[in-house]
Structure formats: structure tokens, C-alpha cells
Amino acid sequence: MRAGIRMGLCFALLAGGSALAQEGSLSSEPYVEWRGPYFLLGLGAEGYTGELAANLNPGLSYEAIIGFRPSNILGFELGYSGGVNDVDSSGDGIGGPDIVRNGAQTALTVGLTPNSRLQPYVLAGIGVERYSVRSGVSVRYFDDTGGYVPVGAGLRYRLTPGLTAEVRASYSALFGQDFAPITDEDVLDGRYQGLLQFGGSY
């Protein structure tokens, strides 16, 4: 009789523990589920490398992204990317940015920890952008359209089931630098960017 009572208590404890574990797993699932559509809005800074860095000061950068993750690891993005920079040697005393950049890009992202609330990831893509130079800044800079290849890494964190915060750093290799007075283009001449982004899933 006592043995039967003990066995009954053991089964009850095991069943209760299993139910609690399943309940905890279900309650935490929304915080680690990365699949589905999402959007991001970001603000940060960008600058240039190589010969471009000599005359272009770092400036404000901004981005808007919509994307879709078919799994907790893989994601596809379409985004708008923009930035403003001043020419270091302009010295004309006129307010406002000297060069405004507007572009569109598509990218592939790969998460490195599929079921984690804090997920590092890498990205690569391709884009096209338009450089608009303020009139009178310099005869050496011109309005121009060109392509670029962004690569980077980031860290996203699930704040709530629907809200996400991210930090992202990227480097964009430029197809050409015809908007600037570059005498010797190099494959390492490009643009670096750092962003703080907020968004959510829907």
C-alpha cells in the first residue's frame, strides 16, 4: 500500500514538473521566434575610407527596412538607405549638407543563434544609390548614380513579442566613385556605417 502511494506521488510530481516545463516553454516562445515579416527604422553615422576619407567628413546615416524571415535563421530584406556628408574643404559657410546620398538595397541575413532572444547575425547584399551635390560646393564633385555591395554584422534583441532593437555595422564596397575627385580608385575605397535600429514583427 505504502509502495503504491509512493509511486503515485512520484508520478504526480513528474507529471506536474513536465506540465510546468511545457508551460514555461510556451510562455517564452514568443520571445525567441524570429520567423515572419518585420520592419526596422535606424539612425546612426557613416563615413568613407581610402582616398574618399580625405575630403568627406563623417555624417548622419538613416535607414528603413522591410523584410521577411522564412526561418529563425534566414532573412530577406528590402531597404532605403540614406546619408549626408560635408566636404572638408568647402569652407563656404553655408548651412546644410554638401552631399546627400539616397539609395535602395536588398540583402540576405543569416542568424547565428536560431532560438536565442539575443541573436547575432551577418548580412550581404547589393544596392544602387544617387549622390546629390549641393550647388556651389565644389567643381570637383558631381551628381552621380552608382552601385554598391554592403556586407556587415549585427546584433538583434527581442524586447517584447512584437518589438525588436538592433545594432548593425556594415561596409559598402562602391562600384565607382565618379561623384568625387578620385585619381586612383581602389577596391578598399568605400563607406562604413553604424546604426541603431528599432522595429517589430507583424
pLDDT per residue as tens digits for the range 9-68: 443 434 444 444 444 443 444 457 899 999 999 999 999 998 888 888 999 999 999 999
Q: Residue 95, SS3?
A: coil
Q: Where are the domains of the chain?
A: 1-31, 33-201
pLDDT per residue as tens digits for the range 128-161: 999 999 876 666 788 899 999 999 999 999 998 8
3-state secondary structure 157-198: EEEECCEEEEEEEEEEEECCCCCCCCCCCCCCCEEEEEEEEE
Question: Which pLDDT value is given to residue 171?
Answer: 97
Q: Residue 149, SS3?
A: strand
Q: Are 102 and 64 in contact (CB under 8 A)?
A: no
Q: Which of 201, 177, 180 has its CA nearest to residue 189?
A: 177
Q: Are 193 and 65 in contact (CB under 8 A)?
A: no
Question: Which pLDDT value is given to residue 180?
Answer: 78
Question: Which pLDDT value is given to residue 93?
Answer: 54
Q: Work out the pLDDT band at 110, boundaries 50, 70, 90.
A: very high
Question: Between these two residues, 199 and 4, which has the higher pLDDT value?
Answer: 199
Question: Which pLDDT value is given to residue 184?
Answer: 66
| 93 phi-psi bin (left φ>0, alpha ψ -120 to 50, beta other) | left
C-alpha cell at 141: 564633385
CATH topology for 33-201 is Porin (2.40.160)
Question: Which pLDDT value is given to residue 43?
Answer: 98
Question: Which pLDDT value is given to residue 89?
Answer: 67
**Beta strands 36-48 and 74-85, pairing class:** unpaired
pTM recorded for the entire structure: 0.78
Q: Which of 106, 32, 122 has its CA nearest to residue 68?
A: 106
Q: How many residues does the chain have?
A: 202
Question: Which pLDDT value is given to residue 202?
Answer: 76
Amino acid in the structure at residue 200:
G
Question: Between these two residues, 73 and 31, which has the higher pLDDT value?
Answer: 73
Question: Between these two residues, 115 and 37, which has the higher pLDDT value?
Answer: 37
